[in-house]
Each structure stands twice: as structure tokens, then as C-alpha cells.
A = this chain, B = another copy of it.
Amino acid sequence: MIKIALDAMGGDRAPRAIIEGAVWAVQEYDCRIVLVGKERNIKKFLNKSDYPKDKIIIKHATEAIKMGEPAAATVRRKKNSSISVGIELLKKKEVDVFISAGNTGAVVCAGILKLRTLPGVERAGIGIVFPGLKQSYIMIDAGANIDAKPLHLLQYGVMGSCYCEYMLGRRNPSIGLLNIGQEESKGTGIIKEARELFEKTKLNFIGNVEARDVYSGKVDVVVCDGFIGNVVLKVSESLAEAASSFLKQELTKRLLPKIGAILSLPAYRAIRKKVDSSETGGAPLLGVDGRVIIAHGSSNAKAIKNAVGSAIGYVKHKLNRHIIEELKKINV
């Protein structure tokens, strides 16, 4: 049975939402969950829940890394944090996957330091599944590596392509390089070199894509360095929040729009569901020798349950094995 370590201390709503998510997950999926964190805190919530007792166990960790703490320094200092202990379980192969909604930097840092990378992978990258206009797609890297070299970008393309093929069931996924224009002459030296590397491969590389194409779903895999990817992600969140605030203000100003808004609620709910991060199942840290899934900091129980679901897919589809094989074929 697949065994998943879950950081019980990570995320804005931890430990409650994490534990509720774990309980939900073992009821829905055939898996065992190891809740990593302060035993007393975990028991406080777990004891109130009804679940198959053999499917959730607790692994005590004395410390927790907070959301704002500097990643690298804190990972080194807090040796017994829930993140470090969870990654350690993964390294010793006591679990198949580690999931955390905690400090993303710390998860990336601990993952890279302790697990190292898969054979052939130079740098790990965070893959994020976005809802496109036509279909969802993956962007990689969303923030693990802010100084990406051309070879790293190429490998992100391979890893993203494997994710799309095996996890999203997309055949021969198309790959685009995020750039400020579509022409070959555009972009920084690193991007131009990455483009040349991609063109030497048999990957389904379609060239540069602009940020304006990001939500149009023009490609299956959008490749970029971690700085840019992080900006894409955060701007999207920021704009979505601002737009819904604007809308709320305007809709409640007068009576008719207010009635209109109430009648339109199902439509808003459908959209919220489409862009809701709790539906996506978390973002994989691709390229490390182990399976790490980063859930959104605001994860609720449902987001955690869905992250467990995608963790199970990660194991079943043998994603890391496919990544190793595809990288061997690249030969750059």
C-alpha cells in the first residue's frame, strides 16, 4: 500500500486542515498516511476524528518552520523540523511521497539538500498545473531555481513533458519557452541558448511563447526560470484577488447588480472551482530523487486530500522512472 508522509505543521491552516485532509484521504484512497509534526498537537485533532486507525500514524517532530522564515538557514538550524523529518522518511524509503503546504523555500531546500537529484537531472524545478482556457497545462519552474542555465531549462522541458504525458494523459505534449516575443532573436542569451538545445532534440518543441499565451493553453508545457515562473504565479494570484475585490465592491453598490450577482452565483462558483488551488492537487518538485509535492500555503482539507490523490498518481505512473529514461534519450 502506498505510504505518504504529510507535514502536519505546514500551511496557514495547519495542523487542523492537514489532519482533516489526511482523514478524508484515507477514506477516499487506498493509502497510509504518516502525519509528521508535534505529536500532542496532532493528537488533539486526530482523536476527534473517525478513521481506520491503521491507516494514519504519527511521526513526532519537535520543530516547525514558519511561513516567513528564511529557507536555507532555517532548514540548517531546525534539524528536527517536520519538513526535515518528512524528507528524511522519504530518503530512507519509509514513505513513497512527502507532501507539505508549509514554507515552500524550506521544502525545496530540504528536498534538494537531502534527496539530491535524479540521475541526469542538474536542477530540480517546481511544476505548477494551471487552468488554461481550453485545457490545463504545466509551467516549470515556478520558483525552485532562480538562476537557470540553458541545460536546466531543457531538462525542465523534459520533466514537464513527462508530467503532462503520464499525469495529465496528454500525448506528445508540446513545449514552449517563455519569452518576451515569439521571434528567435528575442530574449536573453540564456533563453536563446536553451532554444538551440531544444531544437536539437526530438521533443515536441514549438519555440518561444509569450506570457500573453500563458492562459490561452497554446502549449502543454511552459518552460521558464524560477524567478519568472514565480512572478507568473504570484501576479496571477494577485490579479485574481484584485479582480474579485473590484467585482465585489461594484456588485454590492446598488440593488440590481446585487440581485444579478446572486442569480449568477453558480457561474462564479464554477469559475472559482476552475482556478481554485485546492482542486489542483499541489505542485510536484520535479527532478529530486524522491517524490515531493508542495501544496499551496492556504490549503484547506480538500486541497490536502487532492494532493494525496495526485501523490498516488505520481507513484502509480512511475513518473520519476520516465523522467530518467527520457533524459537519457536527449543526449545534449
Interface residues of A (CB under 8 A from B): 70, 105, 132-133, 143, 146-147, 178, 180-181, 183, 185, 187-188, 210-216, 226-228, 230-243, 245-247, 250-251, 253-254, 256-257, 259-268, 270-271, 274
Contacts and interface: CB of A to CB of B under 8 A. Distances in A.
B240 A70 contact: no
A324 to B, nearest CB: 29
Contacts of A213: 238
Nearest to A246: B271
Contacts of A178: 231
Contact of A243 (B240, B264, B270): B240
A241 B262 contact: no
Interface of A is mostly: helix
Contact of A228 (B228, B254, B261): B228
A133 B245 contact: yes
B187 A215 contact: no
A231 B228 contact: yes
11 contacts: A212-B237, A214-B238, A215-B239, A228-B231, A250-B270, A256-B263, A257-B265, A257-B266, A260-B261, A260-B263, A263-B263
Contacts of A215: 235, 238-239, 241-242
A257 B247 contact: no
A267 B230 CA distance: 31
Nearest to A226: B180
Contacts of A234: 210-212, 214
A211 B242 CA distance: 13
A230 to B, nearest CB: 5
B251 A238 contact: no
A268 B231 CA distance: 27
Nearest to A236: B239
